[in-house]
Structure 1
C-alpha cells in the first residue's frame, strides 16, 4: 500500500511542473495544429514525385515511375543557368540582407526619440508586407520604356531611352535592389529585438572606460547579434535552392529576352507545368529543392559547430 502511495506521489510530482506551464501549452496548441496541418500533412503528397499522376486514379492510384520525373529537371539543357541564377541570387540576397539589416538595426536603436524610433521600425517593415504584384507595378512605373520615370530622367539629361525589359545586363542589379528593399526589414526587426535585449549596463561600463561608439558596436553589439545572424543565415540557406517566384516572374514581367538572368528553378518548373501539365515533374523538382536545402543546412551547421559550437542549431 505504501509503495502505491509512493508511486502516486512520484507521479504527482512529475506532473506538477507541467501543470504550471499548462496555459503556455494551450497558447502553443493553435500554432502547433497549424504547423501540423500546413507543413506535415501535405508531406504525404511527396509520393507524386515518383508517379505519373492521373486525376482519375488519384495520388495513391497513379502509376509509379520511380526517378523518371527527376530527369525533367536534371537533364535539362538550361540546368547550369537555373543553378547559377538560383544559387547566385540567393547568396547575394543572404549576404546583402544581413549586412544592411544589421546596419539599419544599429542605426534605428541609436535613435533617441522613442516615437520616431517606433515610426522607423514600422516603416522599415512596411515593404515586407507589400504584395509582390504591387511591387511589380511600382517597378514598371520606373522602368516602363515609354512612360517610365527613369527614361524621362535619362531624356532630360540628354541620354537615349533604355528598353529595360529587353536588356539583360541591368536585371541582376534591379532584382537585388528590389529584394533588398522588400526583405531587409524582416531581418532588421529581429536584430533590433536582440539589440534591445542587451543589458544597458554593458554600454554604460564601456562609456566609463572611454569606448567610442564604433568600439561599443564591435565589442558589445555585434557579439550579441552573432547567434541571431547565424540563425537567420541558416534558415535562409535552407531555402537557397528555392526562389521568390513573384520576384523572378512578376517583376521582370515574364520577359523572354532577359530570361537568361531572371529564370530560376521555380519559374522554369512553373512554365513547364503550364505547357506540359505534368504535376509529377513539378513535385519532383520541389522534392529535389527540399533535399538540397536540407543538405545545405547540415553542411552550414557542421561548419558553424566547428567555429562556434554554442551557436550551432544542432
Structure 2
C-alpha cells in the first residue's frame, strides 16, 4: 500500500469531518437508534403476510401460503367501499387541511404580537386532545336526546336527527373534526415559515405600492410553496392509511355508518378481532405501505417534472 495515496487521503478526510461534526452526530444518535429499533428491525415481520401464521410455530416456522392472505382483502364484498372511503377521505383531509392551515397561518401573521401566544395556544391545543375525549365532545353535540344540535333544532320546531344512524352526514362531520384537530398544528408550522421570511421583501413591496393581498400572492405563498409540497408529500405517503381513532371512536363504531365511515384500518381491526387472523392483518398493512410507497414515488416524479427544485428527492 502506498503511503499518502488516494485511499489514505479519503480516510483522513473522513476522520477530520467526523471530528468536526461528532457533537451533532451524538445529538442525532438517540433518534437514529429509535428509528432503527422500531422501524427497521421489525421489517422481518413482513413475512407474516405470506404465511399461515399460528402461535405454536411462530413467525419463522409457520407454513407459507403465498398470496392467500391478500385474497381476503380483494375478494371481500366490502373491499371496494373501504378502499374508496380511505382514498376519498384522505384526499379531502389533505386538501382541506392545506387550505385552512395556510389561511390560518396568514391570519396569524396579521395578529398583534401581544395576542399571538394566545392564538397559537388556542390553535395548537386540539392537536393534543385524545380522540376518546373528542368522541365524547362530538357525542355531546350529536346525541339524539340531549345533544346540542338537536336542542337547537327543537327551538325551530324541527325533528331531532339520529346522527349516529344517518351515514350521509358523516363525511362532513369527520372533515370538520379532522380540521379542528389538525389544522392548527399545520398552521403553526406554516406560520413559523412565514415569520422566517426576510422582511426586506415586504418592505420593498410596500415601497412599490403592493397591498397586503398582493404581498401574500407574490411573496408569501411562493416562498411557502416548498414547505407546502413537502408536507403534502408526507401526507400522500400515508394516503392508504386512515386515522383509526377518528373513524372508530368518533363514530362510536356505529354499524349503520359503515357505508360512509368504514376504512381499511377499521375493517381489518374488526376482522382481526373476530377471526384472529394475524396473517390477514399483516397482509393489509403490507398492501397499504406498498401502495403508499408507489403513490409517493409517482407524486414526487410528477413534481420533479414540473418543478425539480421542489421535489422531495
TM norm structure 2:
0.96
Aligned to 1:72: 72
Aligned to 2:24: 24
Q: Which structure 2 residues correspond to residues 125-274 of structure 1 after superposition, within 5 A?
A: 125-274=124-273
User: In structure 2, how many angstroms separate the alpha carbons of the residues matched to 1:232 and 1:5?
Assistant: 45
Aligned to 2:275: 276
1:61 aligns with 2:58: no
Contact kept? 1:190, 1:228, Cα under 8 Å: no
Moved more, 193-202 or 275-284: 193-202
Per-residue deviation at 1:83?
1.5
Cα deviation 1:87-107 (Å, max 9, x = unaligned): 011000000000001000111
Per-residue deviation at 1:15?
2.2
Per-residue deviation at 1:240?
0.6
Aligned to 1:108: 108
Q: Which runs of 5+ in 2 are unaligned?
A: none
User: In structure 1, how many angstroms separate the alpha carbons of the residues matched to 2:5 and 2:141?
Assistant: 78
Once superposed, what is the RMSD of the aligned Cα atoms?
1.7
Per-residue deviation at 1:187?
1.5
Contact kept? 1:108, 1:120, Cα under 8 Å: yes
TM norm structure 1:
0.96
Q: Which runs of 4+ in 1 moved over 4 A?
A: 4-11
Seen in structure 2, the aligned counterparts of structure 1 residues 60 and 14 have a Cα distance that, compared at 3 Å, is: closer
Seen in structure 2, the aligned counterparts of structure 1 residues 200 and 142 have a Cα distance that, compared at 3 Å, is: same
User: In structure 1, how many angstroms separate the alpha carbons of the residues matched to 2:92 and 2:7?
Assistant: 59
Per-residue deviation at 1:156?
1.3
User: In structure 2, how many angstroms separate the alpha carbons of the residues matched to 1:8 and 1:48?
Assistant: 46
Contact kept? 1:86, 1:264, Cα under 8 Å: yes
Seen in structure 2, the aligned counterparts of structure 1 residues 116 and 57 have a Cα distance that, compared at 3 Å, is: same
Aligned to 1:295: 294
Aligned to 1:41: 41
Counterpart secondary structure, 2:115: helix
Contact kept? 1:102, 1:191, Cα under 8 Å: yes
Aligned to 1:86: 86
Seen in structure 2, the aligned counterparts of structure 1 residues 192 and 51 have a Cα distance that, compared at 3 Å, is: same
User: In structure 1, how many angstroms separate the alpha carbons of the residues matched to 2:290 and 2:6?
Assistant: 50
Per-residue deviation at 1:6?
10
Count how many residue pairs are aligned between Structure 1 and Structure 2. 313
Per-residue deviation at 1:192?
1.2
Contact kept? 1:51, 1:62, Cα under 8 Å: yes
